[in-house]
Homo-oligomer: A and B are copies of this chain.
Amino acid sequence: MVRMQDVAEHANVSIATVSFVVNGSKRVSDATRLRVERAMAELGFTRNLVARALASKRSRLVALVFPEVDTRFNAASMAFVHGASTGSAERDHHLVIWPVASDPLAFREYLDGGLVDGVLAMEVQLDDPRVPVLEAAGVPFVLIGRTADPSAYAYADIDFETTTARDLDRLAALGHRRIALVMEPNTNADRDTGYGPLVRVERAYCAWMAEHGLAPVMVPVSRDPAGGEEAAGRLVTEFPEVTAVACFNDEAAPGLLRALRRHGRSVPGDMSVLGLGMSSKVADLCEPRSRIRTHPVSPWGEPLRTR
């Protein structure tokens, strides 16, 4: 391994000078800078990032953490990874992804280790256990998704309320009144814990239905094609009055459509299906294909972008 010391000796300058040209942190005369650069090239120097981090108290590392268990990591997640990675690089930082197991102690140790300068947390729960750990560690962090009290932290998120209402309006404009919501079960009784998008969409749906004087029809099913098939069965047998279904469960959607067909319901002839926040990859998987695509909006009214 070639150290700065080696470069300094080879170029006949002090180690400080080498540091200055490596980092561009101070003016160095052209002549010496050239000498140093030649020395670095000849010796094949690359600076030790660990030593730099210790001395400067900054690792220039940003961590993107996501819960490893019950993971929702999918194609859409990759857009976040890509955006975060590119954004970090543009700011002279590196992105690392941490699959954080459920163990908060290990997470704590990790953060306190001083390995990363900042954290992006994906798949944030309303009462996310990582948040207090992040606060205690004193690491700057941004949430992708919101906690129960969004004003408390910096976050980026979809405005599920607006997006849901807007898309339901669309169904209403087509004449639908009996609209069911298919989503994964939110097991949290008080609705102040759990996965934010679920809680928000459910609330927004219920509010919209109430506003229109309609009774909500909720069909919670598991996140897989079998769940979608179950939903189709329940819609046909338990809720035959339903003419449209809003599906906030990407994994179940293909099964839902497939089973509706099997039950003799044509889509969109007999039943309209709306994919709430559905990724275009999943939309392509569905038959029939989606005809109309809208985009989720951010809490700031802009369309949401991952970059």
Query: Which residues from chain A sit less than 8 Å from chain B, CB to CB?
Result: 1, 46-51, 53-54, 59, 61, 63, 68, 71, 73-75, 78, 81-82, 85, 89, 94-99, 101, 106, 108-110, 112-115, 224-226, 254-255, 258, 284-285, 287
Contact = CB atoms under 8 A, between A and B. Distances in A.
A226 B46 contact: no
Given A78-B73, A99-B97, A115-B50, A284 B226 contact: yes
Contacts of A78: 71, 73
Per CB-CB distance, the 9 closest pairs between chain A and chain B, nearest first, are: A49-B113, A46-B112, A97-B97, A96-B96, A85-B99, A50-B53, A225-B284, A50-B54, A50-B114
How many copies of the chain does the oligomer comprise?
Answer: 2
Nearest to A109: B46
Contacts of A97: 96-99
B81 A68 contact: yes
Nearest to A108: B46
Nearest to A97: B97
A287 B258 CA distance: 8
A46 to B, nearest CB: 4
Contacts of A46: 108-109, 112-113
B101 A85 contact: yes
Contact of A50 (B47, B59, B108, B285): B59
12 contacts: A48-B113, A48-B114, A49-B113, A50-B50, A61-B115, A68-B81, A68-B82, A85-B101, A94-B110, A97-B99, A224-B284, A225-B285
Contacts of A110: 49, 94
Given A50-B53, A97-B97, A97-B98, 11 more contacts: A46-B109, A46-B113, A49-B115, A71-B78, A74-B74, A82-B99, A89-B101, A96-B97, A226-B284, A254-B254, A285-B285
